[in-house]
Amino acid sequence: MYLLLANPTSGAGQGSRVKAEVIAEITARNLSYEDISGTSYESAVLNLRSALKAKRPKSVIVVGGDGMVHLAIQELAGSDVPLILIPAGTGNDFARTMNLDLASPVTALSYSLTHPPTSVDLGRVNGRYFAEILSTGFDSMVNERANQMRIRSKIKYDLAMLLELPVFKPLEYEINVDGDRITTRAMLIAIANGISYGGGMKICPNSDIRDGLFDLLILEPVSKFEFLKVFPRVFKGTHVTHPKVKILQGRKISIESKAIAYADGERIGPLPITTEIVPGALKTWLRT
C-alpha cells in the first residue's frame, strides 16, 4: 500500500493535474493506495504523521514542489519508508538534484516502481531537516521581501531581488567549519546538500547529495554592477570560477551574524545557527 500526499495548488495548479495523472497510473497498475492529502500544510503534516504511525506503507508518493518535500522529509528521515517525488512545483530543486524528468513528472513514478531506492543525505538545523540549500545573506533578504508579496508566481523572487539589491550591504560573519574558524564579510553564504535553489540556480553545482559533506559557498563583497554581471552565470553553475567565490566542504557548520537563514525556501530564523549533515538519512530515487 502506498500513501499519496499531494499539494493540488503547487506549480500554479499543476499539482492538481499531475495528481490526477498519478492516480490514473497507480490504478492502471492495480496498486493499492490511500490519499492523505490535506487541505492545508498543517493538515497534511498531521495526516502523514498519523498514517505512518498506523500503517507500514511501501512508499510515500509526494506530488508537489520543494515545500512538500520539506514537509515529507521531517517525517520520513531516518525511516525505512522511501519518498517517491513527483515534481509539480514552481522551483522543483530537489527534483533537479535527483535528476528527475521535469517535462514528464509521472515518469518519476514509473522509474521508482521499477528501480530500487537509494539513500541520500539530509541537512539538519534547529531540529529540522532540509534537502537542498541552507542560505543566509542577500538571498535570504530576497526571500523575506518576496514572502511579503501577494504575487503567486516565480516572478516575485526576481522582483524582490531587484528591490533588495539597491539597499543591501554585505554582512560580517563568523563561520566554523568542522572546528576551523573563519571571519569574513560576505554578500551570500550557501550551505549545500543538493545543487540548486530558486528554481534552477546551481549555487553549488558540484555538490554530491551522497558524499556525507556539505559544500559551503561564500560570496565575498563585490560591487552591485559586478553582482548583476555575474549573477546570470549561477544558472549554469559557472559563477564558481569568480575570484570572490570561495567553496569549502564540511560536516558541521556554524554561522554567527546579524542575519536571517532560510532552508529549502522555508524560514529558519535569525542566526546564530549550527547545521550538520546526516548521511543516508532519506530513502528515495536518484535517476541515473
- Hey, which bits of 42-126 come out as E strands? 59-64, 83-87, 118-125
pLDDT of 61 above 60: yes
pLDDT of 152 above 80: no
Least confident interval from 13-27, 51-65, 142-156, 172-186: 142-156
Say whether domain 2-116 belongs to CATH 3.40.50.10330.
yes
Q: Where are the domains of the chain?
A: 2-116, 130-280
| Mean pLDDT (whole number) for 99-111 | 91
pLDDT for the residue numbered 161: 83
pLDDT for the residue numbered 154: 65
- Determine the CATH number of domain 130-280: 2.60.200.40
Name the pTM for this structure.
Answer: 0.92
Report CA torsion sign: 31, 4, 88, 209: negative
pLDDT of 153 above 70: no
- Hey, which bits of the chain come out as E strands? 2-6, 33-35, 59-64, 83-87, 118-125, 128-130, 133-137, 171-177, 180-186, 188-192, 214-219, 245-250, 252-256, 260-263, 266-270, 273-284
234 pLDDT tier (thresholds 50, 70, 90): very high
pLDDT for the residue numbered 13: 67
pLDDT for the residue numbered 70: 95
pLDDT for the residue numbered 41: 78
CA distance 32 to 35: 10
158 pLDDT tier (thresholds 50, 70, 90): confident
95 pLDDT tier (thresholds 50, 70, 90): very high
- Is cis: bond before 272, omega within 30 of 0? yes
223 C-beta neighbours (distance < 10 Å), count:
8
| Cα dist from 33 to 59, 60, 106, 142, 193, whole Å | 10, 10, 16, 39, 31
| Mean pLDDT (whole number) for 125-143 | 94
Q: Which residue has the higher pLDDT, 164 or 280?
A: 280
199 pLDDT tier (thresholds 50, 70, 90): confident
Is residue 93 a contact partner of residue 200, using CB atoms and an 8 Å limit? yes
pLDDT of 157 above 80: no
Q: Residue 109 contacts by C-beta under 8 Å, 6 or more apart in sequence?
A: 22, 25, 26, 61, 84, 86
Is residue 251 a contact partner of residue 103, using CB atoms and an 8 Å limit? no
27 C-beta neighbours (distance < 10 Å), count:
10
Tell which residue, 282, 265, 279, 251, has the closest CA to residue 98: 282
| Mean pLDDT (whole number) for 200-212 | 96
Quickly tell me which residue has 546538500 as its cell.
193
Residue 260 pairs in a beta bridge with: 270
